[in-house]
Structure 1
Amino acid sequence: MSVPAFGLGTFRLQGQVVIDSVSTALELGYRVIDTAQIYENEADVGVAIAASGIPREELFITSKIWIANFARERLIASLKESLEKLQTDYLDLTLIHWPSPDNQVPVEEFMGALLEAKRLGLTRQIGISNFTIDLMKQAIAAVGAENIATHQIELHPYLQNRQVVEFARSQGIHITSYMTLAYGEVLKDPLIQQISERLQATPAQVTLAWAMQSGYAVIPSSTKRANLLSNLGATALTLSDADMMHIATLDRGYRLTSPTGIAPQWD
């Protein structure tokens, strides 16, 4: 099993907004949907998926366990609640959303519970998100790198997170990039715009293609049909080696997501 290269993110989308976004995306051909317990939209995502009529086996659904549910006795129960909201018997991928603040719940405990959820058939694959190299080592020690399908991290041209990527790759762990467009900031970058003009593509398509060509999965979100369709076009775009090298120079360690009291000490 593997993690598909392209999907739909649903962060910050709720109610009819997320129902419309997911419904439109599925209609356009998206088959990968990424949500999380803390997004408080799993039930709405479930409504959109059910209404689409698309067979479950054609979809790849990801959710993430929130930090309040890390204790062994709580994690599996919370995952079952997520499944109920999403109107499905299983997830394709379940991630630990953030490491436990101040190690309140040891990595070994929540990773062990997540692996048990996989054994129970509640999720096909498991993974992590927002982990440092040290925390990745702890997760690997707990369940083995072969059981960690992906590491989902903030990654865009302005934050290329190379140390974490290199360590993950050395362990055979795939990377999923979130916030690949940096809330739209990289779309204004002169270099990205220059490449997009030459390729007759949008800056978003260029950025998403860069990430996928780098070997990362991407999960961009949008509420606009035109953008959802345009983003999908990134899967057919190929950048030159020179384009890839130029975008590599944009890295400036510019992190957008680091919630106080939750985020670890970044590498």
Structure 2
Amino acid sequence: MDAVQYIEFSDGNKMPIIGYGTSLADKEDSLIPAVEAAVDAGYRHIDTAFLYKNEPIIGKALQKIFSKGVVERKDLFITTKLPVNGFKEVKYFCQKSLSNLQLSYVDLYLIHCPMASKRTELDEEVYTVDETGTYQGDYTIDLVTTWKAMEELVDEGLVKSIGLSNFNSLQIQRIYDNARIKPANLQVECHAYLPQYELHDFCKKLNISFTSYGSLASPGFVEYMVNAGMGSQKERLLDDEKLKPICAKHGKTPAQVLLRYLVQRDIAVIPKSVKSERIKENIQIFDFQLDEEDNAALRAMQKNLRIFDFDFLKGMKDHPEYPFNIPF
């Protein structure tokens, strides 16, 4: 495998452009070996969140890796995220994540979503609902105040860099204009069906780096939501016929082509799998280059198909900070 590339943040810190994503991976018997396989395959960037309920498992995996001497803490870039029920208790939730991960700091801490939820006594009840199943948003939250608390985490050495996730351009600008420490990174859904050109260009102007989640249009998440009765079947990006000629041309899989497409746009990717062969395959994207013909074909696949629309609970779209009511 060729050397993994890095993205440099506005604060001078660097993040590997490919990371190992862990959303919907919360089984210890599969996630621990998967994290080990990812590090063995060359990943040096691991992405998680309090919401995923897998930080303690990742903490165990990291300690196992460190004890074997495979890598040291300084060799890994760890991202986690502030849950939407924690906007008034930023330090508390950051410290809870650090305890879960068995770390003294994380490299990147993101506000996971702008739609604050009402707080209950149960920390893990991130998306609070009432007896009718309606989302209980906290409308008293000022995102700028939450950002100021994020800045204090940097001051105290609990996190190296801070950023945002699932924010729109107006929300990003509001944070940016009022920030002492500017957002270093934005993590949003981004793939060939939802390429996010306008939002990416907007972030580049503010010197905010860009991370794609759902880079393969998240077939696992779609299946999970359909099975849970909270979503409908979406088109499978990985099965798109337009990918076949590009894959044949380069001798690569659809996943590798789709990840390479984003990386060549200077967008970080965090593909998720618990299968060791798929984990290895996803990082093998630095030994080929898509040409302009390939990129034109991939650009033509745009459908503005959003998988993660944050409308899986009744009333979510009524939140005043619902991010997808504007074009980008």
Report TM bin, short chain: over 0.9
Greater mean alpha carbon deviation, residues 20-29 or residues 115-124: 20-29
Residue 266 of structure 1, CA deviation: 4.4
- Superposition misfits of 4+ residues, deviation over 6 angstroms: none
Partner of 1:61: 78
- Corresponding position of 2:201: 166
Q: Distance in 1 between matches of 2:251 and 2:27?
A: 35
1 or 2, which has the higher helix percentage? Answer: 1
* Aligned mates of 1:245, 1:171 — CA distance in 2: 26
Structure 2 portions without partners, runs of 5+: 1-12, 117-136, 220-235
Does structure 1 residue 88 correspond to structure 2 residue 103? yes
Q: Deviations over 1:48-94 (max 9, x none)?
A: 111012210000000000011111xx111110110011011000000
**Contact preservation (8 Å) 2:16, 2:44:** no
What secondary structure, in the 3-state scheme, does the structure 2 residue paired with 1:20 have?
Answer: helix
Which residue number corresponds to residue 119 of structure 1?
155
Amino acid at match of 1:76: K
Please say if 1:208 is aligned against 2:259. yes
Write the letter of the residue equivalent to 1:214.
R
Verify: 1:137 aligned to 2:173, yes or no.
Answer: yes
CA distance in 2, matches of 1:139, 1:236: 38
Residue of structure 1 in register with 2:27 after alignment: 15
| Structure 2 residue matching 1:69: 3-state secondary structure | coil
Which of 1 and 2 has greater Rg? 2
Sequence identity of aligned pairs in percent? Answer: 30
Q: Give the conservation status (yes or no) of the 8 Å contact 2:190–2:213.
A: yes
8 Å CA contact 1:70–1:100 kept in 2: the answer is: no
Quick one: which amino acid aligns to residue 57 of structure 1? K
Matched residue, 2:87: 70
> In structure 2, do the counterparts of structure 1 residues 236 and 149 end up closer, same or farther at CA, with 3 Å as the change threshold?
farther
Name the counterpart of 2:121.
none
Mean Cα deviation higher: 235-244 or 47-56? 235-244
Shift of the alpha carbon at 1:207? 0.4
Q: Does 1:149 align with 2:184?
A: yes
Alignment partner for residue 210 of structure 2, among 172, 175, 190? 175
Partner of 1:249: 300
SS of residue paired to 1:237? coil
CA-CA distance at 1:259 after TM superposition: 1.7
3-state SS in 2 of match to 1:68: coil
Q: Counterpart of 2:17 in structure 1: which amino acid?
A: A
Q: Secondary structure at the match of 1:76?
A: helix
For the residues of structure 2 that align with 1:245 and 1:141, how far apart are their CA atoms? 35
Query: For 1:203 and 1:5, how far apart are their aligned partners in 2?
Result: 19
CA–CA distance in structure 2, aligned partners of residues 136 and 62 of structure 1: 19
* Alpha-carbon separation, structure 2, partners of 1:218 and 1:236: 16
Distance in 2 between the 1:258 and 1:162 partners?
Answer: 18
Q: Which moved more, 1:222-231 or 1:94-103?
A: 94-103
Point out the more displaced range, 180-189 or 197-206: 180-189
- Residue 48 in 1 paired to residue 65 in 2? no
For residue 196 of structure 1, what is the aligned residue in structure 2? 247
CA distance in 2, matches of 1:108, 1:236: 42
> Are 1:10 and 1:35, in contact at CA under 8 Å, matched by a contact in 2?
yes
- AA aligned to 2:62 is I
Distance 1:27 1:9 in 2: 15
Partner amino acid, structure 1, of 2:163:
G
Matches of 1:55 and 1:149 in 2, distance apart?
24
TM-score normalised to the size of structure 2?
A: 0.78
Partner of 1:5: 17
Contact preservation (8 Å) 1:206, 1:237? no
Which 5+ residue runs of structure 1 have no aligned equivalent? none
Deviation for aligned residue 1:165: 1.2
SS in structure 2 of the partner of residue 62 of structure 1: strand
User: Could you tell me whether the CA contact under 8 Å between 1:127 and 1:148 is conserved in 2?
Assistant: yes
Contact 1:3 1:150 in 2 (8 A): no
Partners of 1:46 and 1:85 within 8 A in 2: yes
- 2:169 and 2:64 mapped to 1: Cα distance? 41
Give the Cα–Cα distance (whole angstroms) in 1 for the partners of residues 189 and 27 of structure 2: 25
Aligned length: 264
Aligned-partner residue type, residue 56 of structure 1: R
